[in-house]
Structure 1
Amino acid sequence: MQPTLQRAMPAWANGRRNPLPRRRPLRWRSWLVILAGLGIIAYLLSLPDAPFSLDGPSLTGAVERVSDGDTIDIGGQRIRLPGIDAPEWNQTCGTADGGNWECGKAAAGRMRELTRNRTLSCRPEGHDRYGRLLAVCRDGRLDIAEAMVADGYAIATSRYLAAQTEARRAKRGIWQGRFDTPADWRRHKAEGAAGEAGNPSRFERFISWLWALLSS
């Protein structure tokens, strides 16, 4: 007679549950790999795009960010519009009745209106001392810098004098009252344009894209 084989009783038969397997904590090497990966990602996001070649074709694209009334970002390039100087972001100007208005913020707002939903073609002319691309940007026949001068939101420095004469005669924008030129205002406030130096990082471009998406 063969012996009867006894099967082991399952844990549930006696009211006990199988214990859950313990999760093994991440070892320090795993944490090191994760931190290294995050560091690489952060480094790549902090890198700006390479300076735009002056020998190639015009830079074409939509405006990714407006810094102020004369500085915009297109295709990872920070562009300073030559021939004009717009009020700085925190600058105020005088009104016709002797009051004040935020002409710097208004100039930036006007630039956003002029460039919204437009594809600009920018002809490079060089780089300024801050590494920004100097380029004349147009949408067809519309010269964005000339439009800013004509609307009274920037002064002409080396061109667009006819547009400035008309804006001044009509007392548009900054010409409605007394104001300091942007260059004089910067000297008085000891503020330069170094805060917008060079090209935007990929992180800045992502934040600008996200802000535009949420604002639309």
Structure 2
Amino acid sequence: MVNIASAALLASLLCVPGYGAADVAGRMDIVDGDTAHVAGQTIRFFGIDAPEAGQTCQNADGGIWACGKWVTERTRARFQGKQARCVEVDRDRYGRIVARCTADGTDVGRWLVQEGLAFAYRKYAMDYDLDEKRAAITDKGLHGSLVQDPAAFRAARVNGQSTGRVAPDASCAIKGNISSKGVRIYHVRGQEHYERTSINTAKGERWFCSDAEARAAGWRKAKR
């Protein structure tokens, strides 16, 4: 028979929020904009999504830049080596701990979204929705550039496909588009329709590194 003291202890444990979840504390080593190693565990920051380390973005004048690398560097500058405490919220499909982390009294995920280094991952949580909107209003960080959704970027990479307006490789940013009539036309930076043209490799469209490469593949240059 369970005595009164044991029953009370069991009830108190069941009422503790997060009971049974991992509580990881230790030195934080940044992997990229939304992932870190803490005390030997791989932690995915809860409620946010950041560009992949190899992802590129496009700025207002059409220039391509390594935004994923920049986000990683900014995150490291702020949190690398800090003592962190991460409370598990979930586990992702890779078995990583998805957690809310604090370092120096700062909510790491919230700081990243407020600085425009990551986006609110609304598919899973709305915790940082307003933080992202405030950052977007002032074009802070990534909001001043054209950025492919990180989840879409990952999916395209897994499938060996690329869909979007921003070149995955900044040195190969010529857009090989196929019109609705099947005409193969390529666009270079500065041309009228370059910015609005999106490339879908699943349809046979592609990126080129030079005019010569595009012409050799059977594409013609856009007239304007």
Give the TM-score normalised by structure 2.
0.57
Match of 1:153 in 2: 117
Which structure has the larger Rg over C-alpha atoms? 1
2:139 to 160, 171, 174: 171
Cα separation, partners in 2 of 1:191 and 1:61, compared to 1, 3 Å? farther
Q: Tell me the SS of whatever aligns to 2:46.
A: coil
Q: Tell me the SS of whatever aligns to 2:52.
A: coil
Contact kept in structure 2, 1:54 and 1:124, CA below 8 Å: no
| Distance of 1:150 and 1:97 partners within structure 2 | 24
Deviations 1:55-99 (A, max 9, x none): 267211111x32210010011100000101100111001112221
2:25 to 49, 52, 60: 60
Match of 2:157 in 1: 189
| Distance of 1:176 and 1:113 partners within structure 2 | 21
1:105 to 60, 64, 69: 69
Give 1:190 shift.
Answer: 2.2
| Distance of 1:176 and 1:140 partners within structure 2 | 28
| Distance of 2:95 and 2:23 partners within structure 1 | 18
Contact kept in structure 2, 1:98 and 1:177, CA below 8 Å: no
Contact kept in structure 2, 1:149 and 1:164, CA below 8 Å: yes
Give 1:54 shift.
Answer: 6.6
Q: Tell me the SS of whatever aligns to 1:189.
A: helix
How many residues are aligned here? 139
Structure in which a larger fraction of residues adopt helix: 1
1:137 to 77, 83, 101: 101
Contact kept in structure 1, 2:82 and 2:104, CA below 8 Å: no
| Identity in percent | 35
Match of 2:57 in 1: 93
Match of 1:34 in 2: none
Structure 2: which 5+ runs fail to align?
Answer: 1-17, 161-224
| Distance of 1:56 and 1:186 partners within structure 2 | 28
Cα separation, partners in 2 of 1:105 and 1:60, compared to 1, 3 Å? same
Cα separation, partners in 2 of 1:172 and 1:74, compared to 1, 3 Å? same
Q: Which residue type is aligned with residue 71 of structure 2? A: A
Cα separation, partners in 2 of 1:191 and 1:114, compared to 1, 3 Å? farther
Give the TM-score normalised by structure 1.
0.59
| Distance of 2:156 and 2:91 partners within structure 1 | 25
Match of 2:148 in 1: 180
Give 1:153 shift.
Answer: 1.1
Q: Which residue type is aligned with residue 58 of structure 1? A: D
| Distance of 1:170 and 1:163 partners within structure 2 | 12
Give 1:179 shift.
Answer: 1.4
| Distance of 2:145 and 2:158 partners within structure 1 | 23
